[in-house]
């Protein structure tokens, strides 16, 4: 049993038309039938264009949103135990014990940290709410966390504005780890930071993962960052999962045309790395999740599309061990990615 198993998850947002009665006009299919597992101790990267549903998926797992359909099976006793709980079916009160075990690191430390609270209050909030520590014990615990993420403990009474962007993100990381979670959803955790600070933060996340036996779901649009930190990568397009594979295999040998296009845009700082195709520029616009095209969502922009792609939705299937893809032509196409020289 994996630590987390997401099964046929959907998150549809209804929207209304004009007029007095504002009747529901349709739904935005932000997440539309996504299925995957996360094993304990791994980092699963979620990638795709802006608006593909990856952040919404992360928020569904934390139950920031109540999913429209599907299951979110979480194993509170760790992988291997059979006592999985469906988080999608729990009430707010029933969710409280599990909120300690699943935490989130937000994208923008400027907006995610309350400017009216001190570092002590921000990091210590979850400890206090969950009755883990108070008073001097709480302060000592916060100082330990600050030191572990590279912040000076004597700054615990300062406010967020007194810190740099990278330091603010470290405060957010310390707050996420304060109650010893098992699973951390990092939603674009480094995208708002300078490149040099990104590298420091990624190294910190990897150190903390090893030290505290953490499992990460790492949401990002920067494919180079995802390649560095992830064990496996899940690719999404317009709310649907299109490919899932181990990181090295996905980058070297993509099976979905959309993944191939993403790989063609990855910069290559390593002089020994060879890009085996030129930049693939996708024609047309991203499909509207409120009115997706028939068949494969990607077919209007796909240079390999056939008539079957235009009328039949491709199912996610395992074409070989560890390689899951939603493409009718996955076995016959010879797509290219990035290979190490």
Residues 83-122 pLDDT 10s: 889 999 999 999 988 999 999 998 877 788 999 999 999 9
Closest CA to 17 of 31, 7, 8, 27: 27
The DSSP code for 149 is: T
Interhelix angle 135-148/165-177, nearest 10 degrees: 130
> What residue ranges do the domains of the chain occupy?
4-17+26-101+181-340, 110-180
Asked if 75 and 81 touch (Cβ cutoff 8 Å), the reply is yes
| pTM score | 0.91
Residues 24-83 pLDDT 10s: 778 999 999 999 999 999 999 999 988 899 999 999 999 999 999 999 999 988 655 568
Residues 185-213 pLDDT 10s: 999 888 877 888 888 889 999 999 999 99
Of all helices (H) and strands (E), which one includes residue 97?
A: helix 92-99
DSSP string computed for 9-32: EEEEEEEE-SSSS--EEEEEEEEE
Cα 111 from Cα 94, distance rounded (Å): 28
Query: By three-state DSSP, how is residue 219 classified?
Result: strand
- What is the per-residue pLDDT for 110? 79
Residue partners of 248: CB distance under 8 A and separation at least 6? none
Q: How far apart are the first and last CA of the chain?
A: 38
Structure tokens at 264: 């063609």
CATH of domain 4-17+26-101+181-340: 3.40.50.300
DSSP string computed for 223-253: HHHHHHH-SEEEEEETTEEEEEEEHHHHHHS
């Amino acid at each position: 049993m994996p630590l987390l198993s997401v099964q046929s998850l959907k998150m549809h947002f209804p929207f209304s038309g004009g007029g007095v009665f504002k009747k529901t006009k349709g739904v935005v299919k932000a997440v539309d039938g996504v299925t995957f597992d996360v094993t304990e101790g791994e980092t699963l990267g979620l990638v795709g264009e802006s608006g593909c549903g990856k952040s919404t998926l992360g928020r569904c797992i934390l139950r920031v949103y109540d999913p429209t359909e599907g299951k979110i099976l979480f194993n509170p006793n760790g992988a291997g135990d059979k006592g999985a709980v469906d988080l999608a079916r729990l009430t707010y009160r029933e969710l409280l014990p599990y909120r300690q075990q699943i935490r989130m690191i937000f994208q923008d430390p400027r907006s995610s940290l309350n400017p009216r609270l001190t570092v002590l209050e921000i990091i210590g909030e979850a400890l206090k709410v969950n009755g883990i520590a108070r008073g001097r014990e709480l302060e000592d615990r916060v100082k330990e966390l600050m030191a572990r993420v590279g912040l000076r403990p004597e700054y615990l009474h300062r406010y967020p504005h007194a810190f740099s962007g990278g330091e603010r993100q470290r405060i957010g990381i310390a707050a996420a780890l304060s109650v010893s979670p098992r699973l951390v959803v990092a939603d674009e955790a480094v995208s708002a930071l300078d490149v040099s600070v990104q590298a420091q933060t990624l190294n910190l996340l990897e150190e903390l993962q090893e030290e505290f036996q953490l499992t990460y779901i790492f949401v990002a649009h920067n494919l180079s960052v995802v390649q560095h930190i992830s064990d496996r990568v899940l690719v999404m397009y317009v709310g649907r999962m299109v490919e899932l594979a181990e990181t090295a295999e996905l980058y070297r040998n993509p099976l979905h045309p959309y993944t191939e296009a993403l790989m063609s845009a990855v910069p290559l700082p390593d002089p020994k790395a060879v890009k085996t195709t030129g930049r693939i520029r996708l024609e047309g616009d991203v499909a509207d999740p409120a009115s997706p095209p028939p068949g494969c969502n990607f077919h209007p922009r796909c240079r390999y599309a056939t008539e079957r792609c235009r009328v039949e939705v491709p199912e996610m299937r395992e074409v070989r061990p560890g390689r899951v893809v939603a493409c009718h032509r996955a076995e016959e196409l010879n797509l290219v990615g990035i290979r190490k020289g």
